[in-house]
């Protein structure tokens, strides 16, 4: 491997990490607060039914509108999956993690704001804007998350990652609650209709996302570039070359590769629960109001439990913390199979809140601990891409079992396979060996 010019591991630690302070860490964590508004209001709660309404206005049947929404979400994931590793490699080479975060941030904010201007029946325009917004959201996350190993030491990375997720729960939950109040009682807020409230909700996400992202760019220093002396001035070519090298070098990081395999499996089950929760609840006859407020509850329950899992990761290790979370997810799948009432749905929402943020935060921090710092954006790009590509299997299994049996109860139960298999592979990961390999490189 070519030598890193001007920045060795020791130089980086002494000259860069020594400059870190609590303001930088807090600014990094606050970005989770900022962008989680997109995840809650746009991806999960408000935009999907709005999209289906646009399809209905255009003459689509309910099933067609739902199908087109699925295609839209899939295209958004695919676009991000294809470009994230290349962009990550380019950012590592040029040292432009914050710059690339800003580019995708602006794209996401503009597309989100434009959702408020959609016309009646404009489901196709809604698809294009959502794909753009999702690309901005996920693309910015690749570079934002790649900053984590550079602002947190090995002894605090679990806690910092968990703090970011916890703040994300707070930020996303607060704005979602406000949006739901607007939609439920538009007249009380001087709005002419629920439709106007929905459109204002989209605009509020864009403003929230932009305003609370400012500290990241003001307080978090840009890490040094991993630039080599071989092809200066050609970051695209260098990025592609380094991406190819990533796939070759990943074999040298056996524990990292093993963790990725476990993550692909169990995260697919987690993602399926998130994506299919409201569809499953609707099939069981749970009202939309109950389901959306249950999502709000999940957000706020997740706050203390995400911090708890961060502390748990420091005490027991991130791997053990994830294994505990997977045990709870297995219980959720079993209980979900027997769900009958709105009260049951709320109980499951609370259980999901206890482990959702913690499992994601510890997964992110464990991966970050085993990643060579000079290639953090490149490796996090691969992390993001692989998760999205692997995430297709869960929804497909859910749909296949539902189609085969004519109901979704067994589909929920089938997700146990993801949690069990993921836990089995994760149990074989030697995290300390992976961390030593990253430090050596």
- The CATH number of the domain holding residue 348 is 1.20.1250.20
Residue ranges in the chain modelled with pLDDT below 70: 1-20, 62-67, 69-70, 74, 81, 84-85, 88-92, 154, 225-244, 276, 278-280, 282-283, 288, 377-378, 381, 384-392, 395-396, 398-403, 405-408
Question: Distance of CA 216 to CAs 23, 27, 99, 185, 407, Å?
Answer: 10, 5, 11, 35, 46
> Residues 120, 54: contact at Cβ < 8 Å?
yes
Q: What is the mean pLDDT of the chain?
A: 80
Burial class (CB in 10 A: 0-12, 13-18, 19+), 240: middle
What confidence score (pLDDT) does residue 396 get?
Answer: 67
What confidence score (pLDDT) does residue 104 get?
Answer: 93
Is position 121 within any domain?
yes
Structure tokens at 11: 């130089």
Structure tokens at 300: 């706020």
Is position 430 within any domain?
yes
What confidence score (pLDDT) does residue 14 get?
Answer: 40
What confidence score (pLDDT) does residue 406 get?
Answer: 61
Is position 214 within any domain?
yes
What confidence score (pLDDT) does residue 235 get?
Answer: 55
Q: Residue 376 is part of which domain span?
A: 18-225+233-440
Is position 8 within any domain?
no
Is position 191 within any domain?
yes
Is position 5 within any domain?
no
**Looking at the 3D structure of the chain, how many domains does it have?**
1
Is position 322 within any domain?
yes
Half-sphere exposure of 264 (CA within 13 A, CB side): 16
pTM for the whole structure? 0.72
Is position 250 within any domain?
yes
């Amino acid at each position: 491997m070519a030598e890193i010019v001007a920045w060795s591991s020791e130089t980086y630690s002494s000259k860069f990490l020594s400059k870190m302070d609590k303001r930088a860490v807090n600014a990094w964590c606050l970005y989770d607060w900022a962008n989680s508004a997109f995840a809650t209001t746009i991806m999960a709660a408000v935009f999907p039914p709005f999209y289906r309404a646009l399809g209905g206005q255009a003459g689509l049947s309910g099933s067609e509108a739902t199908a087109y929404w699925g295609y839209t979400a899939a295209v958004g994931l695919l676009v991000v999956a294809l470009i994230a590793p290349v962009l990550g490699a380019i950012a590592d080479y040029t040292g432009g993690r914050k710059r690339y975060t800003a580019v995708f941030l602006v794209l996401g904010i503009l597309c989100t704001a434009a959702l408020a201007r959609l016309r009646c029946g404009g489901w196709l325009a809604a698809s294009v804007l959502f794909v753009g917004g999702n690309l901005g959201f996920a693309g910015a996350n690749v570079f934002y998350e790649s900053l984590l190993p550079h602002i947190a030491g090995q002894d605090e990375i679990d806690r910092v990652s968990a703090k970011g997720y916890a703040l994300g729960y707070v930020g996303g939950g607060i704005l979602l609650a406000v949006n739901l109040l607007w939609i439920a009682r538009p007249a009380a807020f001087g709005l002419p209709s629920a439709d106007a409230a929905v459109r204002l909700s989209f605009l509020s996400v864009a403003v929230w996302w932009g305003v609370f992202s400012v500290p990241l760019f003001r307080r978090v220093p840009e890490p040094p570039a991993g630039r080599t002396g071989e092809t200066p001035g050609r970051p695209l070519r260098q990025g592609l070359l380094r991406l190819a090298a990533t796939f070759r070098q990943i074999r040298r990081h056996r524990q990292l590769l093993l963790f990725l395999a476990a993550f692909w499996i169990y995260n697919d089950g987690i993602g399926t629960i998130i994506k299919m929760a409201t569809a499953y609840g609707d099939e069981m006859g749970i009202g939309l109001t109950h389901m959306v407020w249950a999502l709000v509850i999940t957000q706020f329950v997740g706050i203390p439990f995400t911090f708890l899992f961060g502390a748990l990761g420091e005490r027991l290790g991130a791997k053990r913390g994830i294994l505990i979370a997977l045990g709870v997810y297995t219980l959720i799948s079993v209980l979900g199979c027997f769900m009958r009432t709105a009260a049951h749905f709320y109980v499951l929402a609370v259980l999901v809140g206890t482990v959702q943020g913690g499992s994601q935060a510890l997964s992110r921090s464990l991966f970050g601990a085993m990643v060579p710092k000079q290639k953090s954006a490149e490796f996090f790009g691969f992390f993001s891409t692989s998760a999205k590509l692997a995430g297709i299997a869960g929804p497909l299994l859910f749909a296949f079992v539902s189609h085969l049996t004519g109901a979704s109860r067994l589909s929920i139960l089938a997700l146990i396979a993801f949690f069990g298999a993921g836990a089995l592979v994760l149990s074989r990961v030697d995290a300390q060996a992976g961390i030593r390999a990253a430090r050596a490189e």
